Amino acid sequence: MNLTLTKKILISFLIFFLITGFVIWRGIYTPRDSLSKREIIFDIEKGQSSKDIAFNLEKEGLIRNSFSFRIYVLINKTAARLQAGAYQLSPSMAVPQIVEKFVSGQTIKIKVSIPEGYTLKQIEEELSTEFQKKVLIQSLAGEFKNEFEFLIDVPNSETLEGFLFPDTYLFNPVTEDKEIVRIFLNNFDKKFNQELREETKKQKKTVFEIITMASLLEKEVKTKEEKELVSGILWKRIESGIPLQVDATIIYITDKKTNKVSYEETQINSFYNTYKYRGLPKGPISNPGLDSILAALYPKESDYWYYLSTPNGQTIFSHTLEEHNIAKAKYLD
C-alpha cells in the first residue's frame, strides 16, 4: 500500500515537472502569436526590475507568461543587463529574441538634424515635431554649470541659446527633455575643444563672448571667408566703441520671417538691440556651427568698417560710411 502510494506520488511529481517544464519551454521558445503582424512600442524605464518588465510584457500580450521570461533571464544571467529605452516588439517574437534586443539596446531611434543658425525656439519646434510631443528645452545655464565648464561665464538666468550645437542626433523616444539638452551640451563640449578654449583665454575673451559673436556671424553671412571678414569688422567696431548695428539682432527680437528691418524696430529697447546698445548683444541669437565659431575666434583683419547683405545673398564690404550708404541705395532701396 505504501509502495503504491509512493509510486503515485513520484509519478504525480514527474508529471507536474514535465508539465511545468513544457509550459516554461513553450513560454520561452514559442511566440505568443507566430503569425501576428502587430507591432508594439514597448518602454523599459530606468530602474525597472526584470520582474516588472516580464509583467508588462505579458500585460501587453507580447509573451505567453511572465514566469517563463524571468526563468530565461535568470538562467542566462541577463536580468541585470536589460537596457532602458523604447523597443519595437511583436507577439511573433520568442523570448530569446526579445531579450537579445533588450540586452543589446536595440532601441528605436529618432533622427533629428539641426541646421546651423537655428534658434533655441526653432530647435524646440523641430524636436517636438520629430518626437510627436511637446519637447521643452528652455533650461537655464545655471542648471548645468556644475557639469560643463564652458558655461561658467554665462549668466545663470540666461538660456542655453548658442550652446545647442547644430548636428544630426539620434535620440531614444523616451529620452527626457533635460537629457536631450545634456546630449546637445556634450556635443558642444567635444566640438569646442581644448585648443579653442586656450585660444579664447589667450585673447582674454570668454566662451560666452565668442559664441555670441559666432551667433551673429551665422545669421549675417554665409561663406567661411565672409564670416572671417565680418568678424574682423565687428570686433574692430566693438574696440572703437561703434555700435555693431547688426540687423539679425533686431530680427531675433521681433521674430519676423523677413530680413527687412525698419527704423522703428531699431529703436526697440532691448539689450539684444545692437543699434541702441554698443558692444555684443545680451547673449547669442542663434546656435552657430563650427565655421562661425572659428571665424569669431580667428577674425580676418581688413580696412573695411561696414558691410551689407543684398537680397540675393551677396555681401558688399565698404571702407567708409559714404561707401556703405551708396551700397545701401544701390542694393537695398
Best CA proximity match to 40, nearest among 83, 3, 81, 93:
93
Residues 6+ apart with CB under 8 A from 267: 275, 276
Give the C-alpha separation, 279 to 298, whole Å.
18
Residue 86, helix vs strand vs coil: strand
Nine-digit cell string for 222: 554665409
DSSP 58-85: HHTTSSS-HHHHHHHHHHTT-GGGPPPE
End-to-end CA distance of the chain: 114
Domain with CATH 3.30.1490.480 in the chain: 27-104
Q: What is the pLDDT along the chain (333 residues), one digit of tens a residue?
A: 465 767 666 776 767 666 666 667 777 889 999 899 888 889 998 889 999 999 999 999 999 999 999 999 999 999 999 999 889 999 999 999 999 999 999 998 899 999 999 999 999 999 999 998 999 998 999 999 999 999 999 999 999 999 999 999 999 888 889 999 999 999 999 999 999 999 999 999 999 999 999 999 999 999 999 999 999 999 999 999 999 999 999 999 999 887 788 989 999 999 999 999 999 999 999 999 999 999 999 999 999 999 988 888 789 999 999 999 898 888 877
Give domain 27-104's CATH number out of 1.10.10.10, 3.30.1490.480, 3.90.1150.10, 1.10.580.10.
3.30.1490.480
